[in-house]
Amino acid sequence: MSANDLHRTRSASAEPSVAGPPPGPATPSQNPADQAVTSPASRVPRTRTGATWFGICVAALILVVLIVFMLQNTRSVEVTFLGMHGNLPLAMALLVAAVGAAILTMVIGAARITQLRRLTRRQHH
């Protein structure tokens, strides 16, 4: 008897399986313990400490990427800005430009937030 014949014999002699419920939409669990585990009320609340930890992790990853970028772009370039001339590494020039753009964006955002707060105070009085 070959291995295939043996497999067919075992399959044919196996007891038929009990048919379960027909496939379809999942029904909610009737067990209260299962519902407690999946309910939104049982989730751990978000905290400032957790948000700070997440922010530190993201900042660390960004710093690693920045370090790799700076190490790969060490070639010196000539930079001219408002009549000033100088040579510095390409990565440093790009980093200074990015930080300058970020500071400009924060200044404009702070001005807009101040404007909206003043407008809100005037409307409440």
How many C-beta atoms surround the C-beta of residue 91 within 10 A?
Answer: 19
Among 92, 101, 57, which residue's Cα sits nearest to residue 72?
92
pTM value is 0.48
CB-side neighbour CA atoms (13 Å) of 41 = 2
CA angle 84, 86, 91 (to 5 degrees): 120
Reading the chain (125 residues) residue by residue, the pLDDT tens digits are 555 555 555 555 555 555 555 555 555 556 555 555 556 667 878 888 889 999 999 999 998 998 898 888 888 989 888 888 989 888 888 888 889 999 999 999 999 999 999 999 989 87
> 75 with 90: CB under 8 angstroms?
yes
Structural domain spans, the chain = 49-125
